[in-house]
């Protein structure tokens, strides 16, 4: 019987998990959800106040092909106390499905950042965009946007230019300085300028209104959204040649939420398919160069559990982390 559990903090995660790892874990997760090897449990969200601005939610999953089950426990505070971030102190608890014993507690804040725009967002683009994109347009300059830029650069060495639009200029200038020796970074004053000459767009802005409209998207473009249609004009889900979800079951939250689907304009009938179906050969991906494709995915605990299991395995190999008595 297991009597110890391995605690791995955020520094351990950053040391043991790379962006490439997060990308491949997302690909593996989509595929094995499609084959039935992964069960994605229902996310449960609980609000702590009447304003419904601060909440906790749990995101469970069973990964049979990896021999583990787990749950991500995360807070999202839109109205945090002064000095506290939007989300922090998140955890993934991992258990062995043979014995039922918990085996690891892993910091999940960095996992969340890595596996989202720069993880499953990259996998969506990998299978849906036109080959060898040269320009990536990014909306937003927060943690997700920055992770997305790194992930897309990892996946697409063909990129020569990053175009940025954000409400704050200073973060864009910082990204420009960091990447100046690697590729051209263009700071844009308007959303229209941001998408000029681009056929690959990452929406990671956190904006509460549409920054990208259907009239701005030219033929051959792929749009990757990590916030549903919060920052994308919902009509694009209907006018695009194809709209994909990451995984239909949890991504029904995009369709059902008034924030992620303003006006409930979109329905499941507008969805062409999801990534789990695409990766298992049930539906096609991009079929024509000129197709406009939109892909939105809010994430699922299975991505986080997969990353946490990888961190745990590597920690065991190099004797890292802190063992706790159960």
Q: Which two tokens stand for residue 284?
A: 């096609």
What are the pLDDT digits (tens) for 260-283? 898 889 999 999 999 999 999 999
Output the pLDDT for position 265: 92
Q: How many CB atoms lie within 10 A of CB 278?
A: 22
Number of domains in the chain: 2
3-state secondary structure labels for all residues of the chain: CCCEEEEECHHHHHHHCCHHHHHHHHHHHHHHHHHCCEEECCCEEEECCCCCCEEEEEEEEEEHHHCEEEEEEEEEECCCCCCCCCCCCCEEEEEECCCCCEEEEEECHHHHHHHHHHHHHHHHHHHHCCCCCCEEEEECCCHHHHHHHHHHHHHCCCCCEEEEECCCHHHHHHHHHHHCCCCEEEECCCHHHHCCCCCEEEECCCCCCCCECHHHCCCCCEEEECCCCCCECCCHHHHCCEEEECCHHHHHHHHHCCCCCHHHCCCHHHCCEEHHHHHCCCCCCCCCCCCCEEEECCCCHHHHHHHHHHHHHHHHHHCCCEEEEC
Output the pLDDT for position 326: 86
Q: Are residues 127 and 92 in the same domain?
A: no
What residue numbers bound the domain in which 9 lies? 4-111+301-325
Q: Are residues 310 and 183 in the same domain?
A: no
Q: Are residues 86 and 130 in the same domain?
A: no
Q: Are residues 102 and 131 in the same domain?
A: no
What is the value of pTM for the model shown? 0.95
- Alpha-carbon distance values, 199 to 23, 138, 163, 193, 195 (Å): 21, 11, 11, 13, 8
Q: Are residues 251 and 306 in the same domain?
A: no
Phi-psi region at 220: left, alpha or beta (left = phi > 0; alpha = psi -120 to 50): left
Output the pLDDT for position 1: 59
Q: Are residues 95 and 230 in the same domain?
A: no
Output the pLDDT for position 208: 86
For the domain that residue 158 is a member of, what is the CATH number?
3.40.50.720
Q: Are residues 133 and 224 in the same domain?
A: yes
- Give pLDDT < 70 ranges for the chain: 1-2
What are the pLDDT digits (tens) for 30-56? 999 999 999 999 999 999 999 999 999
Output the pLDDT for position 214: 95
Q: Are residues 69 and 171 in the same domain?
A: no
Q: Are residues 106 and 136 in the same domain?
A: no
Q: Are residues 60 and 166 in the same domain?
A: no
Q: Are residues 122 and 229 in the same domain?
A: yes
Q: Are residues 257 and 319 in the same domain?
A: no
């Amino acid at each position: 019987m297991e009597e110890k559990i391995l605690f791995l903090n955020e520094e351990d995660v950053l040391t043991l998990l790379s962006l490439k790892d997060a990308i491949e874990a997302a690909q593996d997760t989509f595929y094995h959800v499609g084959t039935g090897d992964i069960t994605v449990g229902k996310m449960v969200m609980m609000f702590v106040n009447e304003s419904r601005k601060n909440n906790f939610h749990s995101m469970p999953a069973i990964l049979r092909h990896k021999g583990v089950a787990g749950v991500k426990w995360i807070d999202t505070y839109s109205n945090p106390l002064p000095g506290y971030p939007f989300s922090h102190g998140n955890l993934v608890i991992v258990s062995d499905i043979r014995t039922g014993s918990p085996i690891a507690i892993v910091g999940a804040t960095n996992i969340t950042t890595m596996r989202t725009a720069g993880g499953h967002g990259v996998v969506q683009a990998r299978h849906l965009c036109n080959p060898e994109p040269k320009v990536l347009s990014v909306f937003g300059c927060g943690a997700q946007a920055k992770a997305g830029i790194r992930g897309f650069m990892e996946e697409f060495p063909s990129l020569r230019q990053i175009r940025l639009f954000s409400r704050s200029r200073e973060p864009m200038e910082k990204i420009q300085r960091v990447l100046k020796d690697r590729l051209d970074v263009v700071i844009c004053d308007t959303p229209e300028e941001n998408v000029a000459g681009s056929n690959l767009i990452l929406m990671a802005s956190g904006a509460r209104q549409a920054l990208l409209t259907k009239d701005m998207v030219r033929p051959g473009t792929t749009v990757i959204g990590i916030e549903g249609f919060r920052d994308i004009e919902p009509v694009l889900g209907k006018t695009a040649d194809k709209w994909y979800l990451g995984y239909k079951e949890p991504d029904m939250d995009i369709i059902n939420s008034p924030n992620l689907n303003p006006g409930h304009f979109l329905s499941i009938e507008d969805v062409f398919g999801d990534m789990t179906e695409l990766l298992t050969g049930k539906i096609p991906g991009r079929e024509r160069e000129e197709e406009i494709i939109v892909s939105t995915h809010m994430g699922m605990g299975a991505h986080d559990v997969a990353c946490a299991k990888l961190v745990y395995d590597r920690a065991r190999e190099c004797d890292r982390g802190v063992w706790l008595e159960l």
